[in-house]
Amino acid sequence: MVYVESYGCTHNRSEAIEFGEAMRHSGISVNSDGETDDTVVIFTCTVITATENHMIRRIRQLLAEGKKVIVAGCMAEVQEKLLKKMFGDRIIITGISSYGKNYSGLKTDVLKIINKKSNTGEKFKATTSNQGNYAYPIAISQGCLGNCSYCITKFARGNLVTYDENVITEKLKKGLNQNIFEINITSQDTGVYGMDLDGRPHLTELIEKLSYIEGNYMMRIGMMNPFGFLLDREAFVKMYSLPHVFRFAHIPVQSGNNDILKMMKRPYTVENFLDIINDLRGAYPDITISTDIIVGFPGETEETFNDSIDLIKRIKPSVLNITRFSARPGTEAAVMKDNIPGSKLKEWSRHLTSIFKKISTEENEKYLGRNIWATVTEHVKKGTSMLRDINYKPIIVKKILPVGKTVNVRITGCTPSYLIGVITDEQE
């Protein structure tokens, strides 16, 4: 039996699921119980040092348990020498560029270990470090058009390669056939989808095509950098009014200071970013805005850090991903001067986290007493369900309901990260 697990981005999880399906079609059994499997394929992430260290610990753990390990994903692609130095021939390394058509290269490596085909029919489950299995990820492209000075993912994924929209459509239909409600549209940068073909973004056209497929589902459109959005702001804003589209926009700004953005090689300004947020909020006042901040980029000062704080206070995002700068091998930022001490990184990160928690709590308190129609997306704890409204706002109710069930919820409480409600009405 073979067990597959993935870490990091939704794109990695999408590839893990596709690989599992490809193996089953080849007659190789993929099990859902990692405790009983001898062979593990791990789709790794190496976006920051902390993640890299976690991957190393996980590989060591699997080897200590007597597992045969195949390392795939971004770490296998860009840090093969490190992995070989640490683990030698105890693991097989298969980077992204070695996957082959329909994952034939990766399947060959699995066969090297198991040396025979198993029976089909086992349920496949790809685990992930940050998400359950209620959402179905669909990668629409690989790579990006950026050249950020801090990013190692660019080395792993390369330049933008757009996937065929007909293939994407079939993947969506496959997810719907599995009674999946939440569809995650993902890539390294969804906003530039299609730009490798004729220089203009095609994401809005793709989403429009997908949104008219019949079924009980909603799509969450994944991260898009400001650059792509700015190329056709009106069309991107309108996209969130399409059927089956959550009003959720993940647009990473990374810094609230233009000088830092230049050093990061991010091709936009803070003012550009604010224009995008104003456009979105002007059309959809309650839209969920998610953004990212890198704390302690080389050359960061108290003044530039305060610019990031001021920006977050101004836009009041619903989701804020805070990352302490981590020098990644081979990147321009790794050799930049004026590195920030670890103690200062921790101090700034904690300070910004505290500010954001206060903001998010105050924003969530505005929902108290409201009645909201929302749909069950997953079961999170014993006896509880997670629901999402049209704006992807997370709502917890103390009742197990079928995924895809729509109910009316009165908001009775909140935390910094989610709302708490009681059911007042249900759709038939």
Indicate if the pLDDT at residue 105 is higher than 90: no
The pLDDT tens digits of the residues spanning 149-193 come to 999 999 999 999 999 999 999 999 998 988 899 999 999 999 999
Indicate if the pLDDT at residue 369 is higher than 80: yes
C-beta separation of 85 from 115 below 8 A: no
Confidence of residue 234 (pLDDT cuts 50, 70, 90): very high
Q: For residue 117, what pLDDT is reported? A: 40
The pLDDT tens digits of the residues spanning 25-75 come to 777 766 655 565 688 999 999 999 999 999 999 999 999 999 999 999 999
* Residue range(s) in the chain whose domain bears CATH number 3.80.30.20: 135-365
* Residue range(s) in the chain whose domain bears CATH number 3.40.50.12160: 2-114
> What architecture does CATH give domain 371-426?
Beta Barrel (2.40)
3-state secondary structure 15-69: HHHHHHHHHHHCCCCECCCCCCCCEEEEEECCCCHHHHHHHHHHHHHHHHCCCEE
Confidence of residue 352 (pLDDT cuts 50, 70, 90): very high
Q: For residue 428, what pLDDT is reported? A: 63
The pLDDT tens digits of the residues spanning 123-158 come to 334 433 333 458 899 999 999 999 999 999 999 999
Q: Which CATH class is domain 135-365?
A: alpha beta
Indicate if the pLDDT at residue 294 is higher than 60: yes
Q: For residue 125, what pLDDT is reported? A: 42
Indicate if the pLDDT at residue 219 is higher than 50: yes
Q: For residue 35, what pLDDT is reported? A: 60
CATH for 2-114 is 3.40.50.12160
Q: For residue 132, what pLDDT is reported? A: 42
Mean pLDDT across 254-277: 98
The pLDDT tens digits of the residues spanning 370-410 come to 999 999 999 988 899 999 999 999 999 999 999 999 999 99
* Residue range(s) in the chain whose domain bears CATH number 2.40.50.140: 371-426
